[in-house]
Chain A
Amino acid sequence: MVSGWLLALAALLLLAGLGQRFAFVLAGLLVELLGLGLVAYRYRSLQRGTQ
């Protein structure tokens, strides 16, 4: 999730075009959502095991 944010921040720092920035910030958000999904999946498995 942190790497997704770093990708978004790097896009703002290094790129000038609005379209490019938009694409890379969206990519950063997707990386964050992937991380969120993985954490959610891990906790889902844990909670299945405890019940």
Chain B
Amino acid sequence: MNLAVCLLCIILVPLATAGLALIHQGLGRSRSAAHAMLATLCALGVTAIVFVLIGFSWAGYPGDLSHTAQLAGKHFDWLGNEPFFAAGLSSSLLKGPYAALVLALQMFAVGLASLIPISAGSDRWRLASICASSALLAGIVFPLFAHWVWGAGWLAQLTPLFGLPSFTDAGGAGVIQVVGGLTALSVAWILGPRQGKYSDQVATAIPGHNIVLVLFGCLLALIGWIGLDSAASMLFHGAASVQVIVIAINAMLSASGGCLAAVFITQLRYRKPDASLSANGWIAGLVAGSAGCGLISPIATIFIGIVAGTLVTFLVETLELKLLIDDPGGAISVHLGAGLWGLVAFGIFGPTTGSRAALLLAQLVGIATLLGIMLPLIHIGNLLLNKFVHFRVDADGDWQGMDICELGAGAYPEFVVHADEFVPR
């Protein structure tokens, strides 16, 4: 592994968080814009601290100590066993930079995952509870699944355990995106819709306030995603540094497929392309492509992106109109929906020397684990947190906007119309 290339890729990852932050605040209302950006910074801060202090010891890394459980004569590696507070980092640095690189990547990755629910809870989720939920994500939820997939846990050891290929998630479609998407779903359920969203049993469209920032965020996210996919592939799948080129090409292709599919579908359905759904299509393409980044052919990657972009346009509508889930930024559709599709797509298009059905089965086992273990864990955790740190802002705050309610000042004070400016002089 080329240390310089890997380090450079890890340094690019915060650009993905910057991109997602811009997308989320642009798709929310202007009266909560500053709150959304501050919540992003706070979530990144909380996740970084909690993950380094606690989470990393449970996430671990391949070749490290771990907790195992015996079931039907088989040893299941289910939790990392690193010292808390990253105490083992200095001694592991003597053996090489691998552990430190894993810690750095996962610290940014968990920050990225924590931004996904902020979008779903936009305009009504209190700052204190955002920090509490982010701490839960970084301290327990993310490390658990990251260990199973990236830390040589039981999902990465399906071959010795069951004779199946390993569950593969090269760039974090499951570990980051689906886990973040499941948290977003849980938060949206707990918070309920924004006031006025479903008045008279009809869904009211509440458009985002700055689509230019949203589209600029998409471009930033592309650069960050290339770094994320490349670093994860190098650290957890032994990809060579030259493979970064293929990963970059595939990331661009999947994003392009997703965006163009969303443009085409919305043009067909609404007679004009929808900018916010097209932006979601771009991110959905990146999300779906990250499961097999660099391991899948470019033509298959384009197809994966197209399906992801198409899927998102329908999922956003289904969640909003049929399930009455108010997700202002479409985060659940983009990260959960496209992430799950990406994991399935790796089973269909991923490289295999054995049976294709076995590869698909391994991917389905990973998806079953995400839905059957991670979602209940996330939802119960968030429900408990909601008892102690109430998630939803009060009714006045809902109308005023989160900026005035929680920060005491708006993001765009010049937009305020002052009555005295209209007084005849």
Interface of A with B (CB < 8 Å)? 1-6, 8, 12-14, 18-19, 21-22, 25-26, 28-29, 32-33, 36, 39-40, 43-44, 46-48, 50-51
Contact A13 B71 (CB under 8 A): yes
What 7 new A-B contacts, CB under 8 Å, besides A22-B360, A50-B193, A51-B198?
A: A4-B372, A8-B372, A13-B162, A14-B72, A18-B355, A21-B361, A46-B192
Chain A residues positioned under 8 Å from B324 (CB to CB) = 43-44, 47-48
Nearest residue (CB) in A for B369 is A5
Contact B198 A47 (CB under 8 A): yes
Complex CA gap A22/B365 in Å reads 10
16 A-B pairs within 8 Å (CB atoms) are namely: A1-B372, A2-B372, A4-B371, A6-B372, A12-B161, A12-B162, A12-B365, A13-B74, A18-B357, A28-B372, A29-B371, A47-B325, A48-B201, A50-B193, A51-B197, A51-B198
Contact A32 B193 (CB under 8 A): no
With A44-B323, A47-B192, A51-B199 given, is the CB distance from A5 to B74 under 8 Å? no
Chain A residues positioned under 8 Å from B192 (CB to CB) = 46-47, 50
Contact A5 B372 (CB under 8 A): yes
Chain A residues positioned under 8 Å from B399 (CB to CB) = none
Chain B residues positioned under 8 Å from A43 (CB to CB) = 189, 323-325
Q: Give the 4 A-B residue pairs with the shortest CB-CB distance, closest first.
A: A5-B372, A8-B368, A51-B198, A32-B371
With A12-B162, A13-B74, A51-B193 given, is the CB distance from A5 to B355 under 8 Å? no
Nearest residue (CB) in B for A4 is B372
In the complex, per-residue mask of B282-311: 1 if CB is within 8 Å of any chain A CB, else 0? 000000000000000000000000000000
| A-B CB pair tally, cutoff 8 Å | 83
Our pick among A13, A22, A25, A36 for the contact of B371 (Cβ within 8 Å) is: A36
Chain B residues positioned under 8 Å from A32 (CB to CB) = 368, 371-372
Nearest residue (CB) in A for B162 is A12
Our pick among B162, B201, B361, B368 for the contact of A4 (Cβ within 8 Å) is: B368
Chain A residues positioned under 8 Å from B162 (CB to CB) = 12-13
Q: Is B373 an interface residue (CB 8 A)?
A: yes
Our pick among A5, A19, A48 for the contact of B368 (Cβ within 8 Å) is: A5
Of B192, B198, B357, B372, the most chain A CB neighbours within 10 A belong to B372
Nearest residue (CB) in A for B197 is A51
A48 smallest CB distance to B (angstroms): 6
Chain A residues positioned under 8 Å from B97 (CB to CB) = none
Contact A18 B361 (CB under 8 A): yes
Q: Is B358 an interface residue (CB 8 A)?
A: yes
B157 smallest CB distance to A (angstroms): 12
Q: Is B88 an interface residue (CB 8 A)?
A: no
Chain B residues positioned under 8 Å from A8 (CB to CB) = 364-365, 368, 372
Chain B residues positioned under 8 Å from A12 (CB to CB) = 161-162, 164, 365
Complex CA gap A48/B302 in Å reads 39
Chain A residues positioned under 8 Å from B201 (CB to CB) = 48, 51
A3 smallest CB distance to B (angstroms): 8
Taking CB atoms and an 8 Å cut-off, the chain B residues in 105-125 that contact chain A are none
Complex CA gap A22/B355 in Å reads 12
Contact A5 B371 (CB under 8 A): yes
Chain A residues positioned under 8 Å from B358 (CB to CB) = 18
Contact B199 A1 (CB under 8 A): no
